[in-house]
Amino acid sequence: MTSALTNTSSKQILNAFPRPVTLTIAQFASVSGWCLLLTWLSSVFPALKRSIPALRNGLRYPSWDVLQTALPLSIFQLLGHLLSSYATSKIPVSLVHTIKGLSPLFTVIAYRVFLRTKYARATYLSLIPLTLGVILACSTDFSTNFLGIGAAFVAALVFVTQNIFSKKLFSEADRLQDSARSKKLDKLNLLCYCSVGALIFTTPVWLYTEGFDIMRDYLSDGSVTLTGKKNSLDHGPLTMEFIFNGAFHFLQNIMAFVLLSMMSPVSYSVASLIKRVWVIVVAVLWFRSSTTNVQLFGIGLTCVGLYLYDRFSTEDPAERKAKNDHFRHKQALLPVTESLETSPRNTRGIPGFNEKYTFPSADAKREDSPNRSTTYQPPQWLPPGTRQESTWQLANDTNKS
């Protein structure tokens, strides 16, 4: 839902104010601002730390470890968001997300070419309706939308590369010893520093492409020029739309990190599929896009291809091997900065899930003859699992003595 609201809001902004780089830098600034605001609120109201696990450790101070982790992801974020915003300004949102539906195809090709991973035949066959659906959905006036369609394709490639790099990064980090685990970034820190890095990298691009023009326009008449299209936003509603867009963009990103750390890869891929289909449907209904029957059939065929790919890839040993290496731990994919105990202490002496229970032998039976020793040393505390009858016996022995 947050993704659908963010994308439809972005399209409304670009219809009134066709400045994709400005929208991108505003989104990065909004995510960074929300991270700082929530961190400050959690320090003022400690109850937020208990109710929101992502705020438990706050933000870390910048260091080489932080920069080394966040810098590559910031570059991917910069390229992906710039291309996505540009594509959204040129073509409908439904078409942008239909093209992004080719991500499984690009992922399979990347794993096959660069990582030498062989997939089952069913996985390759499921990519046929996916590819045909995107081709049919793109059957518009190709001469006018070529740049937007090309930007959407490149954005999909960038996000696929980012996902592969991120999984490799997190997999290598999970193999570190517990002593190095505290150097890792949790979800809030990763999101904040990636957004700050992307904001810094985007600023020169924004100044060169759009920033100076917007400043000159504002200094000349005290306002910025809008398109004035029918049903487009005016200055006041446009400002509120920017705030609304930034808030939901932050929620979309933090929820993606939380889901990725809590859910299995299969469940997350299903959630991504549902999200993409929902964005396409909402965009078509919200903007009443003029789509032909061929394009609607192509969008539907893309959804079917995504479903078949998700269905067959879960049964593919190559797919499981590629994913299990990155998601082989039950703990969060992006753990918090605290050092966690690797194995909790078993205080009750109860066997674990995969352990056998061994019954005591006859020789280990407690002596119950009349000549047994009655000397009793009271413990400092009762051990866990003490029976209630034992406490009565303890009281009787104390009274007799």
Q: What's the helix, strand, coil split of the chain in %, to 5?
A: 70, 0, 30
pLDDT of residue 365: 47
**What are 224's two structure tokens?**
């910025």
Residue in this structure with the two tokens 């830098």, named with its chain if needed: 25
Q: What's the rounded Cα separation, in Å, for the pair 129 and 141?
A: 22
Q: Let me know: does 41 contact 48? Beta carbons within 8 Å.
A: yes
In eight-state DSSP terms, residue 362 is G
How far is residue 91 from each of residues 82, 206, 343, measured CA to CA in Å? 14, 21, 53
Domain layout of the chain by residue ranges: 2-324
Chain-centre distance of CA 399, in angstroms? 64
Closest CA to 280 of 1, 4, 2: 4
pLDDT of residue 189: 83
pLDDT for 240 equals 92
Predicted TM-score (pTM) of this structure: 0.65
Q: What is the pLDDT of residue 163?
A: 73
Give the pLDDT confidence score for residue 266 in this predicted structure. Answer: 44
Task: Return the pLDDT at 289.
Answer: 63
In the DSSP assignment, the letter for residue 371 is: T
Q: Which residue has the tokens 């039976």?
A: 365
In this prediction, residue 47 carries a pLDDT of 86
Q: How would you classify residue 172: left for phi > 0, otherwise alpha for psi between -120 and 50, otherwise beta?
A: alpha
pLDDT at 317: 60
- Ranges of the chain with pLDDT below 50: 141, 143, 173-182, 264-267, 326-367, 379, 394
User: For residues 84 and 139, what is the distance between their CA atoms, to the nearest angstrom?
Assistant: 20
The amino acid at residue 22 is T
**Whole-number Å distance between alpha carbons of 230 and 278:** 26
In this predicted structure, what is the pLDDT of residue 244? 92
Question: Would you list the DSSP string of 90-149?
Answer: HS-HHHHHHHHTTHHHHHHHHHHHHS-----HHHHHHHHHHHHHHHHHT-S-HHHHHHHH
- Length of the chain counted residue by residue: 401
